[in-house]
Chain A
Amino acid sequence: MELGKVMQQVKERDAAPAEKGEGLGGQKELEEMVLKAGLCTGCGACVNICPYQASYRDKTVTLHSCDLTRGRCYDFCPRTPADLGALQRKLYDESDITPELGAMRGFFITRATDTAIRRQSQHGGTVTALITLALREGLIDAAVLAGEGEGLLPQAVTVSDPETAGRLGKSRFVVSPTVAEFNRAIRTECRQIGVVATPCQALALAKMRTQSVTATEGGIEKLQLVIGLFCGWALSWRDLSTVLKEKMDLASITGMDIPPSRYHTLEVYTRGETIRISLDEINLCVRESCHSCGDMTAEFSDLSVGSARLPEGWETARQWNQVIVRTERGLDLLELARRRGILEFKEVPGGNLEKLKAASLNKKRVAATRPSVGNGSGDSYRQAG
């Protein structure tokens, strides 16, 4: 399928605000269109704004029914109908917007210079280095991150201390209720908040930003920085636990990663060894909602970070990140990191951006074939690059 056609499809799926119900729902609609339809990302945007929704494990649940016909839950949810193009134009410089990767001011290969940070990070430690820098420099006074919780579950936390933030690196492939934690954090003392977000979480935050102040009860202006993570999919906690439990002691797991697609594996690092599990098995654990997600690069962030692809091969590439800068704020932070010597930069190999665009487009293409109602799996999903 060529680009124009895919974009048209994506547009058709995500646009058409009025007749598809943009801003026209409450919890009932949220339940019908998102939760029951298997489209919930678990981001938690609808949680901690009322007593009716809660995050539990990697799921968002309805505790009791609310009979309001309009609700913030519906407005904020990244899966309810919204005109994403309009949202993009509202939040980004129109001239920066690319059809494949969203707004883009620059594309970089970076990593943390601090090897201690790198050791505790997923890839090059760019995310952790930037967050600790932002905290240290007072650009933000709180960061909402996904630390390690119990038994494969991430734990969304708000931290103010750069040291603590430095210890919360690494990717957790089960969804974290990060936006729920953000909703809690805006009601606390902190004034400037940074969030590390998957694409769906970044979209929820963007939807919040474009609501009127009264609708959000104020506080959204505290959102000062969104660092997006590239994301191919997230895994269902229960399914993943079941698969891994058979193969290892869950307590011994120290991390996980997905090498480039030709390896077709999920690597699980345990204290003793690295266990490789075929993606055939892992694909069955992918959250239903991720199949309908067309955003691979967190297009609604200030800057987005993913794993790098380098001609030197995976062993080297895994020590680096690819970074898409989308906003002024994002660019300032990256430049500050360069000046302070927090990040080191590597020349972007030729063809990388094109490959990334192709991967991103592929996710959009697959998602576009899905109705906005989940209808079971079947396709297999490649990680970026």
Chain B
Amino acid sequence: MSIDNEHKEGAEVLFMGNEAIARGALEAGVRVAAGYPGTPSSEIIETLSRSAKEGSLYVEWSTNEKVAMEVAAAASFAGLRSMCVMKQNGVNVASDFLLHLTGSGTRGGMILVTCDDPGALSSVNEGESRHFARLMEIPLLEPADFQEAKEMTRWAFTLSEEIRNIVMVRSVTRMSHASGNVVLGPLPPAGGTAEFLCDGPISDPEQGPIISAPVAEKHRLQQDKVRKAVSLFEKSLFNTYTGPKKPELLVITSSACRLYTREAVSMLAAEDRVGILKLGTTWPIPPALVKRYLTATEKILIVEEVLPFLEDQVKILAAEQVRETGIKTFFGKNDGTLPTTGELNPDLVAEAIGRILGIEPKTIPAAYGEKLRMLAGLIPRREQTFCPGCPHRASYWAIREALQRDGRGGFVCGDIGCYAMACLFPAAGFYTCKTLHAMGSGIGLASGFGKLGSFGLEQPVIAVCGDSTFYHAAIPALINAIHQDANVIFIALDNSGTAMTGFQSHPGIDINAMGNASPMVDIAALCKAMGAPVVVEDPFALKETRETLNSLMEGGGGLKVLILKQSCALSPEKKGKKRYLMQVDELLCKGDACGCNRLCTRIFRCPGLLWDRNKGKAQIDEVICAGCGVCAGICPAEAIRCEEAPVS
């Protein structure tokens, strides 16, 4: 859905949090938006890309988050409004540039939108980006509903221009991916010219070069800007209070936690005892405002997800103001009232408030619980696995067999992408990956492992990496491994797309985020140019792939590259099209007997294969089978047959 043309000013529409953020940026007149895909942030750039137009909005999927921030900063330096978008760990990647950017300051309004994932619903960490605001000394805004997500994003650009520095807007999964009604504002006219004025003196913020030196001077200036932001925060309408004048308990909260708190208070029917101070400007918190509410109560509970961030600020403030506010009792993370890991929910918050106020939270009626359990029983059990027809299943099959054959205890360093599941789930990758960290860390770790031969490490070392991850962060580590002559086999699992997050474009694809043709960077050519020997295989050819790997594990050291090229089963060119019609020959299928023991449905476990318990034979689920034909190559009895599918 495009969010600009169809919806006019004043209309009320149902938006996903990420769409609301994108709309806010459009209403602010953003001209350049750059990001790197990552759940739960991806829809912001995707939505914006649909509104992209030459001369009015440029949108790109950048190679990584640091580059995205640099691209957006350039626009700001040239006087345009710009934004960069990423998930929480993307901020780590961008942080080196961010540190310098916050020192140098910006010109056109520039915002950083980060979407955190408390509870790591689709991440391998629950890192928090909020702390970067404090670390980098830049203002932080956190929307608590969908309207606010739009308004706050829009206002963030204004604030950025006011203080001439980048402003951070932080969302979380439950905000980005949930939906609510949003009343639209006007869209500004297109246009705006870009020019980077840089001939003035260093001290001139309008026309001088943009650098973070002289550091002492610039740092002082930056802190002045923060103080200016705080004075605006004191009056901000994004900070709201609901509840009695003198509440028994004051809850200070922000973001999605405001909704949990509201629900919890209503569950406990404690509206007249609990006050909720919702902060939208969460770093720095406005001291005068918070002090006012502290004074009116004795007990304070801070409700936030993961680490104590608001809590620390509030407590410091309370300590500093203790003479005026009096001694208070604080509840939150540090005293264990709320957990410091995972997501919160209304139940957890209700329990916490109930404990403090001595209210027994209402338990759910028995009949309702019974119904819930019954319904849960109806949900089919699904295991975490790769899709039918996924090239990763084939790749890992070949890798695992090659490693087992080799028999020296070789292992795979994993990386971020769908293929990371091989660290976690037996049905996805047969537990082949043994390390999993940041993007690009697979080959970085492998580069290190590959130098431990002189200390007796004889295990073959393999690193896997998806194509998008390759461009994102693998290249420096790869160069390192080549240059240090590390004994590593680097496997690029090239499925031609950023499959995990929904097929965003990347440098290996000839179309960019705006749908225009763009030059592509070829992984094989790049690796060859760096001096590594490169072999390309189709992972669906299991035996060839395995044999190639085994021969790469043998003989001579140094880094070798194997590119396993096969498009994702969900890729637009493949989806819904079967290459083969598969069938199990029941006479040949060995079934449970020793000699097979259901290799296909017990180990290989493509969801397209079923086990017919009555017959004791394997079966193809024609609806689910993607027709890739790989399972025909694993059946020892040659009972799985493939037949060329008619072209439709």
Which A residues are closer than 8 A to B by beta carbons?
A: 26, 49-52, 54, 56-57, 59, 61-68, 70-73, 217
Contacts and interface: CB of A to CB of B under 8 A. Distances in A.
Nearest to A56: B405
Given A51-B636, A63-B401, 9 more contacts: A26-B594, A50-B596, A51-B596, A54-B404, A56-B406, A61-B404, A64-B404, A67-B597, A70-B594
A114 to B, nearest CB: 39
Nearest to B405: A56
Interface in B575-610: 594-597, 599, 602-603
B405 A50 contact: no
B406 A51 contact: no
Contact of B405 (A49, A54, A71, A72): A54
Given A50-B596, A70-B594, A71-B594, A63 B634 contact: no
A61 B407 contact: yes
B100 to A, nearest CB: 51
Contacts of B597: 50, 52, 66-68
Listed residue (B405, B430, B550, B594) with the most chain A CB atoms within 10 angstroms of its CB = B594
A98 B594 CA distance: 37
B594 A56 contact: no
Contacts of B405: 54, 56-57, 61, 63
B400 interface: yes
Nearest to A217: B595
Nearest to A62: B404
Contact of B594 (A50, A54, A59, A61): A50
A65 B406 CA distance: 16
Contact of A64 (B406, B407, B430): B430
Interface in B395-416: 400-401, 404-407
A362 to B, nearest CB: 31
Nearest to A50: B595
Contacts of B406: 56
Contacts of A59: 407
B462 to A, nearest CB: 16
Contacts of A54: 401, 404-405
A284 B351 CA distance: 67
A59 B407 CA distance: 8
Given A51-B634, A59-B407, A64 B603 contact: yes
Interface in B553-569: none
Given A51-B636, A63-B401, A64-B430, A56 B407 contact: yes
Interface in B374-407: 400-401, 404-407
Contacts of A64: 400, 404, 430, 599, 603
9 contacts: A49-B595, A50-B595, A61-B405, A61-B407, A62-B404, A63-B405, A64-B599, A64-B603, A67-B597
The 8 closest A-B pairs by CB, nearest first: A56-B405, A51-B636, A64-B603, A63-B404, A61-B404, A61-B407, A51-B599, A71-B594
Nearest to B550: A56
Contacts of A49: 594-595
A70 B597 CA distance: 11
A156 B634 CA distance: 23
A50 B599 CA distance: 9
A73 B596 CA distance: 12
Contacts of A66: 594, 597
Q: Is the interface of A mostly helix, strand, loop or mixed?
A: loop
A71 B599 CA distance: 15
Nearest to A71: B594
Nearest to B602: A67
Interface in B533-555: 550
A224 B636 CA distance: 27
Nearest to B634: A51
Contacts of B595: 49-50, 72, 217
A51 B405 CA distance: 13
B594 A72 contact: yes
A66 B595 CA distance: 10
B597 to A, nearest CB: 5
Contact of A63 (B400, B550, B596, B602): B400
Contacts of B603: 64-65
Contacts of B400: 63-64
A130 to B, nearest CB: 33
- Most central of B400, B550, B603 by chain A CB within 10 Å: B603
A203 to B, nearest CB: 20
Interface in B425-452: 430
Contacts of B401: 54, 63
A70 B592 CA distance: 12
Contacts of B407: 56-57, 59, 61
Interface in B174-192: none
Contacts of B594: 26, 49-50, 66, 68, 70-73
Contacts of A26: 594
Contacts of B596: 50-51
A65 B430 CA distance: 10
B334 to A, nearest CB: 46
B589 to A, nearest CB: 13
A55 to B, nearest CB: 9
Contacts of A61: 404-405, 407
A70 B400 CA distance: 25
Contacts of A217: 595
Contacts of A62: 404
A56 B553 CA distance: 13
A51 B406 CA distance: 16
A50 B600 CA distance: 12
A217 B596 CA distance: 13
B310 to A, nearest CB: 49
Nearest to A75: B594
Contacts of A51: 596, 599, 634, 636
A212 to B, nearest CB: 13
Interface in B622-636: 634, 636
A70 B594 CA distance: 8
A51 B430 CA distance: 15
A64 B401 CA distance: 8
Contacts of B636: 50-51
A51 B604 CA distance: 12
A269 to B, nearest CB: 24
A62 B430 CA distance: 13
Nearest to A48: B636
Contacts of A71: 594
Nearest to A60: B407
A299 B400 CA distance: 38
A63 B406 CA distance: 10
Interface in B492-547: none
Contacts of A50: 594-597, 636
A301 to B, nearest CB: 27
- Interface-central residue, B400, B430, B595, by most chain A CB under 10 Å: B595
A73 to B, nearest CB: 8
A325 to B, nearest CB: 36
A51 B401 CA distance: 11
Nearest to B430: A64
Contacts of A65: 603
A54 B634 CA distance: 13
A51 B597 CA distance: 9
A63 B405 CA distance: 7
A54 to B, nearest CB: 6
A50 B405 CA distance: 15
A241 B302 CA distance: 68
Interface in B605-648: 634, 636
Contacts of A67: 597, 602
Nearest to A214: B593
Considering residues B400, B407, B636, which has the most beta carbons from chain A within 10 angstroms of its beta carbon?
B407
Contacts of B550: 56
Nearest to A54: B405
A74 B401 CA distance: 21
